[in-house]
């Protein structure tokens, strides 16, 4: 009985030792804030865009059990939450200026978890030069939920839209495709048999690509200067290409054999050839898909190389609105489902 009372006291003590909302903010999030956050003691943050610039805004909500596993490392959850927003800004050719965070903490959270989350958030904010400028923290009876709204700036009229692709434009993607979707399988519980046939380094690479997206901010200026249309690949290359072309009123011819794959993804597809479709449609890549006029593409490719980012051509934009012709090994290929969808 005494042991039970002692345990109960420990539980009560741990709850009482949790910081209150304002102390929580001061302890874990104020150190991340930039000047626009005003010390996180006011009701709002402040952004001052330079003369002749416009603000680009993007938001993403992440829910435990939907966008990440509840037992994922808290630092990884934070890094991914900010990275997916920075990826959107990069695709628009925007320079990050700051972000706000709405964090709904479930029952049972600990200050150790929160400290690790804040450390991961600071790492992503420092790497992206995107400081915290405000937000909100609440409790929830449901799963951990976090929403980030990020702000960036571009010269007036220069944001890169989805809707600008023109006939004859080169279609290209950054980095490698499929790692995130394959990494989800490699990282998650109940891994399929093909995962066991991968080397530990390949499994680790794929899992890391799923846990820690790499926003291609180094491409932002080049996209602004040379691309006619762009978006980030979050829901799958095939499905996101449909979105870009629909917005542009255009079609495309795509050579699937040229879609860039990492060595780890190639190893997975060698273990199970059916995984090629998952790589093309599965999502969580956070690479950049862009349409670039042929005359501009050499300069775009040179800028990408200078930024240390691979850029690979995968096809060409056509004038046949809504028509996409995929070729694999010289044969026509179609897809029943092109991307991840929430609804």
Cβ atoms of residues 234 and 283 within 8 Å:
yes
CA separation, residue 99 to residues 14, 80, 112, 336 (Å)? 31, 14, 23, 37
Distance from C-alpha of 142 to C-alpha of 181, rounded to nearest angstrom: 26
Do 193 and 124 share a domain, yes or no?
no
Distance from C-alpha of 56 to C-alpha of 75, rounded to nearest angstrom: 26
Q: Other CB atoms closer than 10 Å to residue 115's CB: what's the count?
A: 14
Q: What is the per-residue pLDDT for 36?
A: 73
Distance from C-alpha of 166 to C-alpha of 159, rounded to nearest angstrom: 16
Q: What is the per-residue pLDDT for 322?
A: 87
> 232: annotated binding-site residue?
yes
Q: What is the pLDDT of residues 242-253, one digit of tens each?
A: 999 999 999 999
Do 151 and 174 share a domain, yes or no?
no
**The domain boundary residue, chosen from 102, 129, 155:** 155
> 60: annotated binding-site residue?
yes
Q: What is the pLDDT of residues 295-330, one digit of tens each?
A: 999 999 999 999 999 999 999 999 999 899 999 999
pTM strictly above 0.85 = yes
Q: Which residues, in sequence order, are bridge partners of residue 99?
A: 132, 150
The residue assigned the tokens 């960036």 is 152
Do 175 and 293 share a domain, yes or no?
yes
> 342: annotated binding-site residue?
no
> 88: annotated binding-site residue?
yes
Q: What is the per-residue pLDDT for 188?
A: 86
Q: What is the per-residue pLDDT for 105?
A: 94
Q: What is the per-residue pLDDT for 108?
A: 86
**The domain boundary residue, chosen from 122, 155, 188:** 155
Q: What is the per-residue pLDDT for 112?
A: 92
Do 233 and 124 share a domain, yes or no?
no
Q: What is the pLDDT of residues 120-139, one digit of tens each?
A: 999 999 999 999 998 888 99
Do 142 and 206 share a domain, yes or no?
no
Checking if the pLDDT of 4 tops 50, the result is no
Q: What is the per-residue pLDDT for 1?
A: 36
> 136: annotated binding-site residue?
yes
Checking if the pLDDT of 9 tops 50, the result is no
Do 111 and 187 share a domain, yes or no?
no
Q: What is the per-residue pLDDT for 31?
A: 74
> 323: annotated binding-site residue?
no
Q: What is the per-residue pLDDT for 37?
A: 64
Domain assignment present for 338: no
Q: How many domains does the chain have?
A: 2
Do 65 and 104 share a domain, yes or no?
yes
Do 111 and 216 share a domain, yes or no?
no
Do 145 and 179 share a domain, yes or no?
no
Q: What is the pLDDT of residues 13-65, one digit of tens each?
A: 444 466 776 776 777 777 777 777 657 655 677 788 889 999 999 999 999 98
Domain assignment present for 103: yes
Query: Average model confidence (pLDDT) for the chain?
Result: 90
Checking if the pLDDT of 342 tops 50, the result is no
Tell me the mean pLDDT in the region 130-151.
Answer: 93
Domain assignment present for 51: yes
Domain assignment present for 190: yes
**The domain boundary residue, chosen from 129, 155, 181:** 155
CATH of the domain at 261: 3.90.650.10
Do 119 and 151 share a domain, yes or no?
yes
Checking if the pLDDT of 100 tops 70, the result is yes
Distance from C-alpha of 323 to C-alpha of 249, rounded to nearest angstrom: 10
> 71: annotated binding-site residue?
no
Domain assignment present for 341: no
Do 221 and 126 share a domain, yes or no?
no
- Phi, psi of 163, deg, nearest 5: -90, 15
Domain assignment present for 213: yes
Domain assignment present for 309: yes
CATH of the domain at 114: 3.30.1330.10
> 257: annotated binding-site residue?
no
> 285: annotated binding-site residue?
no
Do 49 and 138 share a domain, yes or no?
yes
Domain assignment present for 342: no
Q: What is the per-residue pLDDT for 325?
A: 96
Q: What is the pLDDT of residues 63-97, one digit of tens each?
A: 998 899 999 999 999 999 999 999 999 999 999 99
- What domain range includes position 207? 170-333
Q: What is the pLDDT of residues 174-230, one digit of tens each?
A: 999 999 999 999 998 888 999 999 999 999 999 999 999 999 999 999 999 999 999
Cβ atoms of residues 262 and 176 within 8 Å:
yes
Checking if the pLDDT of 3 tops 50, the result is no
């Amino acid at each position: 009985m005494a042991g039970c009372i002692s345990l109960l006291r420990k539980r009560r003590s741990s709850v009482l030792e949790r910081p209150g909302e304002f102390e929580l903010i001061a302890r874990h999030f104020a150190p991340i804030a930039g000047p626009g956050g005003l010390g996180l003691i006011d009701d709002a943050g402040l952004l001052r865009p330079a003369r002749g610039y416009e603000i680009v805004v993007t938001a993403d909500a992440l829910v435990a059990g939907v966008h990440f596993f509840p037992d994922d490392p808290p630092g990884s959850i934070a890094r991914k939450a900010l990275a997916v927003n920075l990826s959107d800004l990069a695709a628009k050719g925007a320079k990050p200026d700051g972000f706000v965070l709405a964090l709904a903490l479930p029952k049972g959270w600990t200050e150790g978890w929160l400290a690790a989350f804040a450390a991961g958030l600071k790492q992503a904010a420092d790497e992206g030069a995107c400081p915290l400028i405000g937000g909100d923290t609440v409790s929830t009876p449901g799963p951990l939920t976090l929403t980030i709204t990020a702000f960036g700036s571009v010269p007036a009229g220069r944001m890169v839209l989805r809707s600008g692709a023109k006939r004859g434009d080169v279609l290209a993607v950054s980095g490698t495709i499929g790692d995130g979707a394959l990494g989800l399988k490699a990282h998650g519980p109940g891994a399929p048999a093909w995962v066991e046939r991968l080397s530990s380094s390949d499994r680790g690479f794929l899992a890391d690509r799923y846990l820690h997206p790499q926003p291609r901010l180094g491409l932002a200026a080049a996209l602004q200067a040379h691309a006619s249309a762009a978006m980030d690949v979050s829901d799958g290359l095939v499905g996101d290409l449909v979105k870009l072309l629909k917005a542009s009123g255009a079609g495309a011819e795509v050579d699937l054999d040229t879609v860039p794959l990492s060595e780890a993804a190639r190893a997975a597809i060698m273990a199970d050839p059916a995984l090629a479709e998952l790589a093309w449609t599965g999502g969580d890549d956070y690479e950049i898909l862009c349409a670039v006029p042929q005359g501009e593409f050499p300069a775009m490719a040179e800028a990408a190389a200078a930024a240390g980012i691979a850029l690979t051509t995968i096809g060409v934009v056509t004038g046949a609105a809504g028509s996409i012709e995929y070729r694999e090994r010289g044969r026509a290929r179609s897809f029943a489902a092109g991307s991840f969808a929430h609804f």
